[in-house]
Structure 1
């Protein structure tokens, strides 16, 4: 049991109220007690030759003027698991009355045992310093807790006499104006503890993974023994950089000598707590030095940059800077504002994304592991119906290029590397536009190996030539749209785009979630970003050609993932976003708004879309989930045989995923054994499948709640079906047979810079977005895949001359 806090101090007789809730001495005669202070200061003034003491008294800042930067913490979606700590200093301010007693008592025992009864200045220490100065002796120091805080508040550095004088004056003023409790609260929230931690709360987290808050569960609160370890650190928070071995400080994780320093100081603090009445002798004897100090995490303060989630943080900050609450604030306002940001990122989904898409890891699929260093993957997963980005992998270095998207930096500039030609993966939007406009997936098209399209300028006489299919399909020359989709027949899809119109294809992509496309501009080496938000396909169709239906124009992985999430939600579009909640203290500053927009697909249209894309064998999962997807490939420059971009996109009822696999330098994808036939089914598809299988398993979701609805095919014959699904295709795919220069997508900054204020499309209907909304079970069995010969991906095509 703790003893009463009325025991004697080692510096004098006991005074009531020296414990966890100390009371100030009754009827404190402040003016009478100022005389020793004035004499001490005068002596120091005279000894220093600084007679203009009133300058210091009049000009020093007070604690109310002190703006302490407070670290902002970014959390995963659970609101408990930290993702990153931001800010110039790692500080989390906790009001004095919300702290438990452990740190309050330990710091007084460690740094200033007369704190509750002194007047902010150690008189004898100041007089010693003044006398030593007058007589030419060694410089002396004396610092109470109040003086130490004054030094920080007034930004006083060095050991000069003028600094000591100013420190004394500020401390004097502090003690006269503020209660002891307030001063101790200032101090505990300000003093450095090492490891980049400023203040007791940041230190508790950095060293023990605990909190000083007394309202936290007991198991998470800082104990007395742990507080003593932290308060020992104040004497020397960091190792001496000039002699780190000889003067390592008091962090026990720095080595044997530092640990011994810590243990010795810990014993000193323990004895002081007994003398002050904070501990009984028996309690002190029962205390053990804690062995639970966390190892030094060299990456802790780099967590927003050095790890894959560093790019998530970039998107979080970018998103918040566009909100009314944070717009037009200084660059460091969010980082140093002490906010608590809860993201949409699900830790389980993020882990699955990194395990699959980081192809340098042993956890990546075998097909992409151990490949050349210039290979790079990107993966984004969005929750259908909410737009929450659950997983984001744009690269392994959060301070490097973002291959999955782009964001606004602190200067308001758009930066990123995420625009890639989607190839045949873009045909999902063509297909959705077709079924929206009443074109059945069982409609037949003339699908020869080669076909001219004079209206779009694709003839034998044109520089680009006619449209060619990459490989023959069993259905040719007369193919149903679903067969042409699975076989990725360019001839059919070029004709479909002409039939629908470029504007309708772009309109569908925009409504689904593609907010940007990169268009070729005559005379420009790099494609330019076209902002599609708030614009119809007709508004921008003139900047694109019929080749848009074949995926010639670059889009981002993030946009593609959101488009897939819209189809996974039955045609209900939600805005993709990274932030769920922002708070500071008890104040809620920002909260996501979940609304959906109906993009115009009725149940039959959605069912035909699901049904067709589940026939793509690369999209079939091994864990029993209904899944739909589409591969894509885009060639490298003018090459007929080599590819620079491969894709796999699609969805289950619970998750969408878009995966891009390409190169960091724009060169062709070549395997380590020299194979240059790298396609979507062999490149991006294994990553996509592994991710969805692991993510759905980690989230412990029931696949029966997310079954697709089977189409009715009104006024048409029943679709073909079989009870035995065919195996997945081999990784080898046919070599494309026609050249297609690829629009460059290498600029790290999209151009022109998009406007943050661009409006999103206005919804037709809005409603709260459901999370994990079950989809009805199918009434018929899953249909088979086409034969392996129908799996060839399309040949990317030349753009029209401009």
Structure 2
């Protein structure tokens, strides 16, 4: 039992310490290594008072531990025993406290074991009899004992133990950052910097929003005219007066609106005015070379079109950003979409969807079908490139984009899938002529625009806004000479009574070899009547005008025949018709010569004069078709020229390069292999400021001079030899070189030639004005056939003589390893000697008779030069090549030869 001392705190009953226990030394911590091992459990000693019986909670008087005397260490304190809180425990926990005190005393007697040991020795209290308050007090007492034990044992006291209350812990000191760690920002610094950046960006956005006002419509809303000048500064044409008709959004069919959204901004009605994520993505894709993208919403595009300009500057982009946000808060989405549809450029000088509907389909916007609306939406991405009438070769890309728009409408739930399946690509109507673009002006303006846009000088929409003064390379006198030559040599011979004469078209181009300037261009009879530019279109085979490129490649690469003989103008080949080429692993290929002519052993020069197919097909294999293709590109043909494929047939002109492309290539030969590319513009200004034009190096050696000059030497024989297929070109009265060519079924006839100071190419083509389909020219002008040595060579001679009138004639300055020889050649063993003007009528069918694989039928092409000459290029289809969809004869494997209306010249022909 315990008594209450005078101090007021109950004194707990503690058994006396054993007499043998050593006294603790003040200020010295006990050494755990010397602590005696704990004794086995014994029965309680007689001196130990038994635990008082449990009493009711109301009568419980908890014992108190007296406060320690300064300088003394009571047993309970020394052992780290718990100090019960004032007020004592309840009766239900008295036994637990007695047990705790006993354990503390035992621990002290054992040499100062840890408080944890004493705690573990305490019998577990019964949770059922332990109120929450008492349990908390007990836990606090145990914790206090654990904290006080070590301090008492070593004679030291932590803060809070000195005053006997145990309130607090020792203050931790943060270690100093040393070395490189001092340079690493702490998380507080990083967080602070981030918050600062956020505040600055937020402040900038707020400031920009407050400072930028919505301006009035820009001056470009009323576009100016563009002025095109001849090389002498006189006016060639004026183009302007923007075609625009504003309408209300309610006039636009809902599906047409949705087609525009599917093409440009599918989340327009749900998103904000700007899309930062899309802008960042577009910037990233552009920077990483994945394609240039705008990342602009419809709202931003409308702001650019109506309020700002097309300048690609940071300032303009920032203004666009803030104006779009402010505009989105002030006007409705419908108003923005209406403005966008009225200001967007659709090509053909049409601003706004109403003008576009009229230009492409000849109807008001209210009457547009879903498919037609989707096509107009397609044009927004690239107006010029996706106009399938002006650029037939782009139909595949335009159709793919149209399908993307239609499928997008289905994906968004705006179009029924069944209706999508029924939809067909809506080919637009013909180009409607613009005022002031009649005659050759429209063709010239179109060619100049294509040159500026493709060269990256200016984009189509900016150019269409007007205000530019453009000085071209077109020589007014030579342009007139070209028109006169075509009129006098060809058009004057056409008759309205002959149906085939309605198909006749002509195209031409002329380049100064030294400067690369295009001095004249003939696109057609009249831009307001025939809108396709025959000088720049790429859909007619070039025929045998390609053969010189094969020889140039052979000379450039030092190629040899299958027998190891170096290929030169004097190299002898087997000119037998239908002789299979040797060394080609793609399958049997045996092209036929014109009119089944067999020439036997023949030199390269003679084979060029006679345009012997079997020789040049073998030469292409000897050189390597891939190398031939590379040489053609180096000379000036675009890399993406249609049907420029590395097969033996490449030698026979299956590629469909434009007249202008071929003129550049022949100009390179005329300039001894040097070329910096052709140019059509020498200066472009707006408001007194001059735009930068593409850099050009006219001294660039595209092919070795020896190769170019060797080619020129054999081409001179074509013109100057009485037996050459281009002998009619000699009428120019100047030293000249050239080559004739004829496309499949006489659908086109070519002559490409040059003097030392002028390169010119002329092509006569057949095309149905109503359907756009290519047509054979059998019987045109009353002649059985049209070939390259006829009207094309005659036009070339007339133009060249007029264009160079008054200038002294120049001789070719050739440097080569060897020139053309005139060896004794065995006479050609022909089964039928071809004639120039056969007395028999032309075939009753437009297509030549069919033959069985591996060769196709001869075309029996006559020429318009002396009758002893074998004729021009026959046509055939090598069995090793995939079909190209061209025209086959009756019962043959060819295609139908028909095309969709309004898409002229897109059907490639067989070879």
Q: TM-score if structure 2 supplies the norm length?
A: 0.43
Greater share of residues in helix: 2
If you compute each CA radius of gyration, which structure gives the higher value, 1 or 2? 2
- Bigger relative CO (Cα 8 Å, ≥ 6 apart): 1
